[in-house]
Amino acid sequence: MLEQLKEDVFQANLELPERGLIKYTWGNVSGIDRETGLFAIKPSGVDYENMSASDMVICDLEGNIIEGKLKPSSDMPTHAVLYKYFSEVGGIVHTHSTWATIWAQAGLDVPAMGTTHADTFYGSVPCAPFLTQAAIDQGYEKETGHLIVSTFEKRELDPMAIPAVLLHGHGPFTWGKDAKSAVMNAVVLDEVCQTNLYARQLNQFAEELPQRVLDKHYLRKHGENAYYGQK
């Protein structure tokens, strides 16, 4: 079932260690088939060296396992909530990548300080607050998804214009139109977290991008009249 999706998600998962975004099994990628409402996700705790496309687990948006001989990632309920509420998302990534996790542990939003950021994220990447004890007791992973959704709703952010979030004390989630683009956004996020930190160390008063520069760089790639790249 959904064999091509499982292959795509498998390949996207393999890219995490290749890009230096994870150590051991500290991450996962999923991808959804919007026609069926089912998504494929990495199995929990399986070494990347021993994993195959057939190991990907198929789940529905209620968090039920539809197909698979292994347990899905423990973060599967978070993915399910994001797919349910962010209807344009086609792939999701969670990592504990070093630089993004530093910002998450600091509890800080990631400001748009350079055009590398602006090419992908149309403004600051938000840091969601800690979960309450009641939310943890209700269901940690599922409520993490609801926390991300509520963070975007309260701040009136477009999840496709800013396809990433940090969780305070935890790490990043990114997403995109498919699993591969979600991985790319995870790479960009970690890169800008590193460059921002160094920039602030060199100059603690370093400014964020002016809105006019943010607009230019984001819209030339993602706007209605985008002209970056080949047709």
The set of catalytic residues is 119, 228
Tell me the backbone φ, ψ of residue 203, rounded to 5 degrees: -145, 100
Element at 6 (helix H, strand E): helix 3-18
Q: What's the CA dihedral at 163, 167, 173, 176 to 10 degrees?
A: -10
Strands 164-167 and 127-128: parallel
Measured over the CA atoms of residue 67, residue 68, residue 74 and residue 75, the dihedral's sign is negative
- As a whole number of angstroms, the distance between CA 176 and CA 90 comes to 6
Amino acid identity of residue 87, one-letter, is: S
User: Which residues are CB-neighbours of 33 under 8 A, at least 6 positions away?
Assistant: 2, 5, 39
Q: How many CB atoms lie within 10 A of CB 53?
A: 17
Strands (E), the chain: 27-33, 38-41, 57-60, 65-67, 91-95, 127-128, 164-167, 171-176
